[in-house]
């Protein structure tokens, strides 16, 4: 095609060559793109009716729910869409971990994905503050106060974040501005993510070189993706229409009250595993350092990997450690909503230790162990002949 725009669509969408053995787990990338579009679209319309002022924010959200035509639908789409977005992105990342999609030559692709996850977490956190309910206010108080643990500049950072000496109108205003801006930065990062993907092509379930066995995206994988989109739309609709508040916290329907602290402050469910790691360390600075180490570990993963074999289908030891990691993250998410008392503290510390052992010890060593075992087995087999 001679038209520049149509040729881009043709080369990178309809005729884009994909490995012939891709399964449904490769649909989560496109579903994540749909989620981002839904969040930006609903967010723009919600911003038309929202008022970023401490005296009016809660009332403006109720105004959207009760008085604006279709406002309830927009808000439930946006609130549940955030949860759906994180579910899809977590599945997308765990698929990458299982099939070794982070391995050479796709290091940049993985690192950009981790940056997108970090931007999503920041965006979702400041968005959770905007309804100005009890959990919004106190969640913001707890999380922003963590910056005070940073030596020398910590208190100045907190004051800058708050726009004063406490969370007030300036805080809400700047959080609203950032919440409106960051999704467009995520969209830009997603385009870079796609560009990095198309540089070397998609990985595949076998983890082998599939350069000689590819099919065009349309019509072969378009149909497979369409099935995944329909299933996703059905699940999303069930939450929006029948269980809109299941994934939220009831305390956020109480207006923010700086004079009344909730008995148990918890973040949204998709932050719970990080929150569990944070609070498993009794020292505030240590907790902040642990959170930083989580994302550093994820960023360094492609460079610490020592195995030439990508897919877990051919790595039985790695597969066991991988499913232990999945169970560990699920356990941490459960622990993150429990009271800060034993045995939850001890379990959280054990779960945090395994999380870091997996990335910082198992990943670098396992490739060498597998190579040694394979060499030993091959030499024994040769000697037997």
Among candidate residues 27, 202, 311, 312, the one labeled active-site is 202
Residue 217 contacts residue 19 (beta carbons within 8 Å) = no
Residue 68 confidence (pLDDT): 94
Tokens of 262: 């909730």
Residue 264 confidence (pLDDT): 83
How many Cα atoms within 13 Å fall on the side-chain side of residue 131?
Answer: 26
The yes-or-no answer on residue 370 being catalytic is no
Residue 260 confidence (pLDDT): 87
Among candidate residues 60, 107, 190, 268, the one labeled active-site is 268
How many other CB atoms are there within 10 angstroms of residue 372's CB atom? 10
Residue 334 contacts residue 367 (beta carbons within 8 Å) = no
Residue 283 confidence (pLDDT): 87
Place of tokens 């981790």: 114
CA-CA-CA-CA torsion sign (291, 296, 301, 302): positive
Among candidate residues 53, 198, 319, 371, the one labeled active-site is 198
Count the residues in the chain.
385
Report the C-alpha gap between 337 and 101 in whole angstroms. 31
Comparing CA positions, the residue from 257, 384, 366 lying closest to residue 312 is 366
Model confidence pLDDT, tens digit, residues 10-28: 666 777 778 888 888 999 9
344: left (phi over 0), alpha (psi -120 to 50) or beta: alpha
Radius of gyration over every alpha carbon of the chain, rounded to an integer in angstroms: 23
The yes-or-no answer on residue 377 being catalytic is no
Instruction: Give pLDDT tens digits along the chain (385 positions).
Output: 566 776 676 666 777 778 888 888 999 999 999 999 999 999 999 999 999 999 999 999 999 999 999 999 999 999 999 999 999 999 999 999 999 999 888 999 999 999 999 999 999 999 999 999 999 999 899 889 888 888 888 889 999 989 888 888 999 999 999 999 999 999 999 999 998 998 888 888 988 887 777 888 787 888 888 999 999 999 999 999 999 999 988 888 999 988 888 888 888 999 999 999 998 998 889 999 999 999 999 999 999 999 988 899 999 999 999 999 999 999 999 999 998 888 999 999 999 999 999 999 999 999 898 888 888 777 766 666 5
Angle between helices 169-200 and 134-145 (to 10 degrees): 70
What single-letter DSSP state applies at residue 243? Answer: -
Helix (H, G, I), strand (E, B) or coil at 214: strand
What single-letter DSSP state applies at residue 165? Answer: S
Among candidate residues 224, 284, 319, 371, the one labeled active-site is 224
Stated pTM of the model:
0.92
Residue 61 confidence (pLDDT): 95
CA-CA-CA-CA torsion sign (274, 280, 284, 289): negative
73: which strand partners?
Answer: none
Extended strands (E) in the chain:
17-19, 214-216
CA 117, distance to chain mean position in Å, is 4
Helix (H, G, I), strand (E, B) or coil at 133: strand
The yes-or-no answer on residue 107 being catalytic is no
301: left (phi over 0), alpha (psi -120 to 50) or beta: alpha
CA-CA-CA-CA torsion sign (172, 178, 179, 181): positive
Give the contacts of 118 (CB within 8 A, at least 6 positions apart).
295
Helix (H, G, I), strand (E, B) or coil at 341: coil
Residue 42 contacts residue 227 (beta carbons within 8 Å) = no
What single-letter DSSP state applies at residue 343? Answer: T
Give the contacts of 81 (CB within 8 A, at least 6 positions apart).
35, 38, 39, 42, 236
Residue 382 confidence (pLDDT): 64
CA 234, distance to chain mean position in Å, is 22
Report the C-alpha gap between 204 and 20 in whole angstroms. 8
């Amino acid at each position: 095609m001679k038209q520049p725009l149509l040729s881009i669509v043709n080369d990178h969408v309809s005729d884009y060559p994909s490995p012939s053995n891709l399964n449904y787990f490769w649909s989560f990338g496109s579903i994540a793109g749909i989620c981002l579009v839904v969040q930006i679209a609903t967010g723009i319309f919600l911003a038309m009716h929202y008022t970023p002022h401490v005296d009016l924010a809660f009332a403006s959200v109720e105004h959207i729910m009760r008085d604006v035509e279709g406002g309830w639908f927009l808000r439930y789409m946006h609130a549940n869409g955030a949860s759906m977005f994180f579910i899809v992105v977590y599945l997308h990342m765990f698929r990458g971990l299982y099939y070794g999609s982070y391995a050479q030559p796709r290091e940049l692709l993985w690192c950009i994905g981790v940056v997108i996850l970090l931007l999503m977490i920041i965006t979702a956190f400041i968005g959770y503050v905007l309804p100005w309910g009890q959990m919004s206010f106190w969640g913001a108080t707890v999380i922003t106060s963590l910056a005070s643990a940073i030596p020398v500049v910590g208190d100045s950072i907190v004051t800058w974040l708050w726009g004063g000496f406490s969370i007030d109108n300036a805080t809400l205003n700047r959080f609203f501005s950032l919440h409106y801006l960051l999704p467009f930065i995520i969209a830009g990062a997603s385009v870079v993510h796609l560009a990095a993907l198309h540089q070397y092509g998609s990985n595949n379930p076998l983890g082998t070189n599939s350069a000689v066995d590819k099919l065009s995206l349309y019509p072969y994988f378009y149909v497979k993706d369409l099935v995944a989109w329909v299933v996703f739309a059905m699940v999303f609709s069930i939450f929006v229409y029948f269980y809109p508040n299941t994934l939220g916290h009831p305390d956020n329907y109480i207006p923010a009250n700086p004079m009344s602290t909730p008995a148990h402050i918890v973040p949204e469910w998709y932050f719970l595993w990080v929150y569990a790691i944070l609070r498993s360390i009794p020292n505030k600075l240590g907790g902040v350092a642990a959170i930083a180490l989580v994302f550093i570990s994820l960023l360094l993963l492609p460079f610490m990997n020592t195995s030439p074999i990508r897919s877990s289908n051919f790595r039985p030891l790695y597969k066991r450690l991988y499913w232990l990691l999945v169970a560990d993250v699920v356990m941490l998410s459960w622990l993150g909503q429990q009271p800060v008392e034993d045995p939850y503290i001890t379990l959280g510390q054990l779960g945090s230790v395994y999380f870091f052992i997996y990335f910082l010890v198992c990943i670098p060593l396992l490739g060498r162990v597998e190579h040694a075992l394979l060499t030993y087995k091959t030499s024994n087999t040769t000697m037997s002949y």
